[in-house]
Chain A
Amino acid sequence: MKSAKASIQIIIAIMLLVGLMPLGNTLNNIKEDAGLADRFIQRPALGFDNIAADILWIKTIQYMAGIKKADVKSSNITYEMFERITDLDPLFTGAYTLGGLAIAHKTPAKSLILFDKAIAHNLNIGWRIPMFAGVVSMHNMKDYDKSAKYFALASEVKDSPFFLKRMQALAKARSGDLGTALILWERLYNSSDSASVQIAKRELVRVAAEILKTSTNNKLRNKADRIIKEIL
């Protein structure tokens, strides 16, 4: 009788344990959907990853404060430190921002790696990090196409400032894609943002003139011609 009761209890325990399997999968899915999924990282910190990230953050600040003259070597070390911080705490926006901007001058490619990581890991990243990535691509890398993509990403974020659209159009024009730049400036010219209208007017004329001077595409030339006539 006693052993039968024990067996039933063991069976119930096993059944409950089996019942945890689908519940575990459901919890994993909820975590995944909420952007809180557990990652396979090399330095598991028993749930204290963010504390480890904080300690490394303080050490990195101390290291950066001690740099007398920034060079590629110190920039690489700083990058590695921020890479580790953001491995441990992928939601640490401050680390991406400071790290990305601190190394942008000497190692802009690595700066973009940090910004890309921020964009990939954070669902609600905001507009600042894509904007910084756009600025680094534009000024430090001279990669205007990439820059335009970052500014486009930043301008799509809710409540982002209007100047990001202007930056996107500017980057497009600098990348040589005058057709797209013309469309973007025209859109800004027709917008309700008064500051953008004035700038867009000036830029539209400049881009249209550039098209008339360099482009062989008749359709584009006609459009540029029409815009110039409309504005002036």
Chain B
Amino acid sequence: MNIILTIAQGVYQRIIKSRILYVIVVFCLFAIAYSTLYSAVTAGEETKLMKDIGLAGIAVAAMLISIMVGSTAIPAEIESRTIQTLISKPVKKHEFILGQFLGSVYVSLLSIAIMSVGFIIILAIKTHALNLIMLKPLILICFEAIVLVAVSVLFSTICSSMVSSILAIVVYIAGHLSYQIPFLVERAGNVVTKFIGLFLYYALPNLQYFNVKAPAAHGICIPWGLVFGVILYGAIYTAVMLLVSLVIFKNKDFA
């Protein structure tokens, strides 16, 4: 466990130096703060607009950061050849993968936490109330980020950081559209198309589960059962991605 945490710490120290991370976080906070100025053109819906912009901004930033840190973690170690030093030491490959994953997750969650606190404070100043209903969508954004980190880590065990970033973005897009597959499968006449459709539906992460931004912005209570169910879904999907990453990584030769 100590080795995993040491590797995670190393990943954190490397990524935290990246300027792009700060740019994303500051830009997101700026966008949220700027949304308070829209009141003149929103016809009484400025609070809703602010909540929408805040949650969407954090979700986009979380996606970018997760994919960025997840995709670069392993390729960066390979390019800098530190992986050979690490692997030659008594560091097992699963410890290495878990360390990279945890370090990346830590950076992602830290960024989301900073943006979320900023968002809640700005919203509280605007509405004179502590909008704790926003916590549930923010929690689910965190878990979506964890799934994306796991997906990015999986791709980064196979390809370069650039390619794995692109693939992870494709999974993000497909994951948000996958809920439509059953509707299309119903209409497909071909058995092969139906099979492929269903395979994709279950193999891709259904990221729409993590999306409760709209009801939260409208003040609708999201059941805790749904939140815990989605967290469980995210945890299982992350475990699957890490297991597959491990299998691929174990068969890699770094000599």
Q: Tell me if B222 and A34 are in contact (CB < 8 A).
A: yes
Query: Which stretch of B16-24, B37-45, B103-111, B160-168 is in the interface?
Result: B37-45
Q: How far is the CA of A51 from the CA of B52 in the complex (A)?
A: 6
**For the complex, is B183 an interface residue (Cβ under 8 Å from A)?**
yes
**Contact B41 A10, beta carbon cutoff 8 Å:** no
Query: How many A-B contacts at CB < 8 Å in the complex?
Result: 125
Smallest Cβ distance from A167 to chain B, in angstroms? 25
Contact B43 A44 (CB under 8 A): no
Structural contact, A47 and B59, CB atoms closer than 8 A: yes
A23-B236 in contact given A44-B177, A47-B207, A47-B208 (Cβ < 8 Å): yes
**B179 A38 Cβ-Cβ under 8 A:** yes
- Complex CA–CA separation, A19 to B179 (angstroms): 17
Chain B interface residue count, CB cutoff 8 Å, equals 53
Residue of A nearest to B227 (CB): A30
- Complex Cα spacing A49 to B213, Å: 10
The reply to whether A30 and B43 contact each other, CB–CB distance below 8 Å, is no
| Chain B residues touching A, majority SS | helix
B45 A124 Cβ-Cβ under 8 A: no
Please classify the interface of chain A as helix (H, G, I), strand (E, B), loop, or mixed, using the class held by over half of its residues. Answer: helix
- The answer, yes or no, to whether A46 is at the interface (CB within 8 Å) is yes
With A20-B236, A54-B49: A10-B213 Cβ-Cβ less than 8 Å: no
Contact digits for A18-40, partner B, Cβ 8 Å, 1 yes 0 no: 11110110110011001110101
A64 to chain B, nearest CB (A): 9
- Cβ–Cβ < 8 Å partners of B177 in chain A: 44, 46
Across the interface, name the chain B residue whose C-beta is closest to A15: B240
With contacts A58-B42, A94-B45 known, is A20 near B246, CB below 8 A?
A: no
Q: Does B121 contact A (CB under 8 A)?
A: no
Task: Name which residue of chain A comes closest to B243, CB basis.
Answer: A13
User: Whole-angstrom distance between the alpha carbons of A44 and B174 in the complex?
Assistant: 11
Distance, CA A9 to CA B226, complexed state (A): 29
Give 10 CB contacts A-B under 8 Å: A9-B246, A17-B240, A23-B229, A23-B233, A30-B229, A36-B220, A51-B52, A57-B49, A92-B218, A93-B218
Q: Which residues of A come within 8 Å of B, CB atoms?
A: 2, 5-6, 9-10, 12-13, 16-21, 23-24, 26-27, 30-31, 34-36, 38, 40, 44, 46-51, 54, 57-58, 61-62, 89, 91-94, 98, 124
Kindly list 16 other residue pairs between chains A and B, CB separation below 8 angstroms, not including A48-B60, A93-B218: A10-B243, A13-B244, A13-B247, A18-B202, A20-B237, A24-B206, A27-B209, A27-B226, A27-B230, A35-B220, A36-B220, A40-B183, A48-B56, A54-B48, A58-B42, A94-B43
